[in-house]
Amino acid sequence: MEFNEKKQSIIAIAEKLFSVNGFDGTSVRDIANEAGVNVAMISYYFGSKEKLMEAVFEQKTNVMRLKVENLIQNSELSSLQKIYSLIDDYVNKFMNQQQFQKIMLLEQLVDKNGVVPQLIYELKKRNIVSIEKLIHKGQSNGEFITEIDIPLMMNTMVGTVSHMIISKRFYKDVNNLEHLSESEFKEYIINKLSNHLKKLFKVILTNEA
């Protein structure tokens, strides 16, 4: 799907409202009013609220899928270095797309049937298939151990970063980081999370501390 400037604007507004009110709590009229367009324009561009949510997902996930595919083809990095690169990208993506991650959290917490849970399920399946290729390559060349629960490993990463998004105020308080601005804290915590997850994944993948 190609996104022109107007579509990009509508998608950005929809993402913001979905992250605050949830999918069911946001109407097409809410999005139209916030974006300064009429409902007919959203219908013309996207067809429905469900298709608009699909556009939000497509825009946010295409870059990561391409990154994983490029890592798979990269012959200059070791398998562990590829995983480290993936961790850096995931942490950066999550911390710089916090509204989108809140949508993911909200819709999964509700745990119901519908278009958004299905989109999330399909996204997870695609991600696991790509990451399995990276892991299996590392196993075949002897870098990684044979017994690895890949979904649990990914849950560890996603859960760690997601929880930081929703509890950053608490983290700043207990670590005496209240003096940091929002941008300073983001830079600090991206580095902190990346290093923390790399240590965990090295143990999970190689049994080496």
DSSP string, 27-45: -HHHHHHHHTS-HHHHHHH
Which CATH number is associated with domain 57-206? 1.10.357.10
Chain segment 27-84, per-residue pLDDT in tens = 999 999 999 999 999 999 999 998 998 888 877 777 677 788 888 889 899 999 999 9
Task: Write down the domain spans for the chain.
Answer: 57-206
CB-CB neighbours of 131 under 10 Å = 20
Burial of residue 36 (CB within 10 Å: 0-12, 13-18, 19+) is: exposed
CA distances from 103 to 15, 85, 134 (A): 8, 25, 28
Lookup result for tokens 């923390």 = 196
Give the pLDDT confidence score for residue 170 in this predicted structure.
96
Contact 194, 137 (CB under 8 A): no
pLDDT surpasses 60 at 2: no
Contacts of 61 (CB under 8 A, 6+ apart): 123, 126
Chain segment 141-190, per-residue pLDDT in tens = 999 999 999 999 999 998 899 889 889 999 999 999 999 999 999 999 99
Contacts of 171 (CB under 8 A, 6+ apart): 164, 177, 189
Sign of CA dihedral 122, 100, 20, 163: positive
